Amino acid sequence: MSSSDPDFLDQARAAIASVGLPDGSSLGQSTRVSGLSLNGGRISVSLQIAPGEHEAFMPVRDAVEAKLRALEGVTSVFVVLTADSPTPSPKTPPKLSVAPAKPKPLAGVRHVVAVASGKGGVGKSTTTVNLALAFRAQGWKVGVLDADIYGPSLPTLLGLTGKPAKGQGRSLLPMQAYGLKAMSMGVLVDPETAMVWRGPMIMSAITQMISDVDWGALDLLLVDMPPGTGDAQLALAQGTDLAGAIIVSTPQDLALVDARRGITMFNKVDVPTLGIIENMSQFICPDCGSSHAIFGQGGAQAEAARIGVPFLGALPLSMELRSASDAGRPILARDPDGPLGRLYQDMARTVMGALESKAGPKATVQN
């Protein structure tokens, strides 16, 4: 089935329309439904809510999920609540009772750290995954959240297949790879689905991947951020107690200009920059072993010195790193004691030192 199947579209719309709202009316009588997307057996849809309605509409979201999952041929459903406007329908929003306090999201996570870049294509996701494994090698219990809604890379980099299992209630259990806990939009929707979402939908999706995933006890959750300084970054800063941000940039001025914007954005929300990584600092020729600074060299290190933040190190671009990433077996899993493995572990130790002063009790690593 697909979005071009009119019969199935009608079935999906009818299933959604039959769900009741807190004021006694039905979704079919409202203007709250948008973004219905079908791909194969996978369905995604967003429900517009007003600020303050989130708690009251969680049962509505669950009911929509149940109705859609009951349709023949459906393999997965993703329903997102998005507070796109204060009045999503012409009806007067129902008066809501005060809901009991919910557990704090990521209550079992000691440190949440964003890995960010101003510009795409600088190797941020590859850096995130290998850093996560470097922290793991130092004895920390680590999770990775792929918050790049438009271009999720984690399934490829970690070789993730299948779908996450259900936890208690509405929660999902993170997937496992190389001793890491991992979650990505790429394991929730079809790999070829185009994620045409507006800002509020992005913020809501990221918030739900934080609060609706049972991350358990972790020493560190690394969040692979999408490029830029927009809604995803704001959602993470508002929804978690970020311990800091790691900025990834290539050496040339074009990338550094955008990296500066990322640092400025995190400063505005009182999130410290834990360090800058210069990626693709040089290309290692696989034939002769010589080095070529094809993007220039030292730009990120100079920028770190200029703004007074730690420089975590420079990572070369090599065929080995590229092939390991494409194969879903990160270089730190393939060769942890090799030159690149040692570089990543040195960076992890530096960041660990910066975080330890804020640390609570260390999580117990479970193999």
> Is pLDDT above 50 for 88?
no
Residue 355: per-residue pLDDT:
93
| Residues 253-260, mean pLDDT to the nearest whole number | 65
> In whole angstroms, what is the distance from residue 204 CA to residue 202 CA?
5
**Candidate ranges 43-52, 68-77, 212-221, 227-236; pick with highest mean pLDDT:** 212-221
Q: pLDDT, tens digit, for every residue of 289-312? A: 666 566 656 777 788 888 888 899
Q: What is the mean pLDDT of residues 101-121?
A: 78
State how far the Cα of 355 lies from the Cα of 135, in Å rounded to an integer.
12
Q: Residue range 84-103: average pLDDT?
A: 44
| 258 vs 103, higher pLDDT | 258
Q: How confident is the model at residue 3 (pLDDT cuts 50, 70, 90)?
A: very low
Most confident of 6-20, 48-62, 97-111, 135-149: 135-149
Count other Cβ atoms within 10 Å, centred on residue 328. 17
Indicate where the chain has its CATH 3.40.50.300 domain(s).
109-356
pLDDT confidence of residue 221: 96
With a cut of 80, say whether residue 350 has pLDDT above it.
yes
Average pLDDT over residues 260-277: 82
What's the confidence (pLDDT) of residue 234? 63
Q: Please say if the pLDDT value at position 210 is more than 90.
A: no
Hey, what amino acid is at 164? P
Would strands 291-292 and 273-284 be described as parallel, antiparallel, or unpaired? antiparallel
Top-level CATH class of 6-82?
A: alpha beta
Lowest model confidence (mean pLDDT) among 44-48, 139-143, 271-275: 44-48
Predicted local confidence at residue 110, as pLDDT: 94
Q: Name the residue among 189, 315, 303 with its Cα closest to residue 254.
A: 303
For residue range 178-191, list pLDDT tens digits in order: 999 999 887 876 65
Domain with CATH 3.30.300.130 in the chain: 6-82
The model carries a pTM of: 0.68
Name the superfamily (CATH) of residues 109-356: P-loop containing nucleotide triphosphate hydrolases (3.40.50.300)
User: To the nearest whole percent, how much of the chain has pLDDT over 90?
Assistant: 22
The pLDDT score that the predictor gives to residue 343 is 93
Comparison of pLDDT for 325 and 108, the residue scoring more: 108
CA–CA gap between residue 99 and residue 345 (Å, rounded): 45
Among 8, 31, 29, 7, CA closest to 19: 29
C-alpha dist (Å) from residue 217 to 145, 214, 247: 14, 9, 25
pLDDT of residue 254: 58
SS (H, E, C) 145-190: EECCCCCCCHHHHHCCCCCCCECCCCCECCEEECCEEEEEHHHCCC
pLDDT of res. 346: 94
Tell the burial category of 268 from Cβ atoms under 10 Å away from its Cβ (0-12, 13-18, 19+): exposed
Q: Which residue has the higher pLDDT, 303 or 203?
A: 303
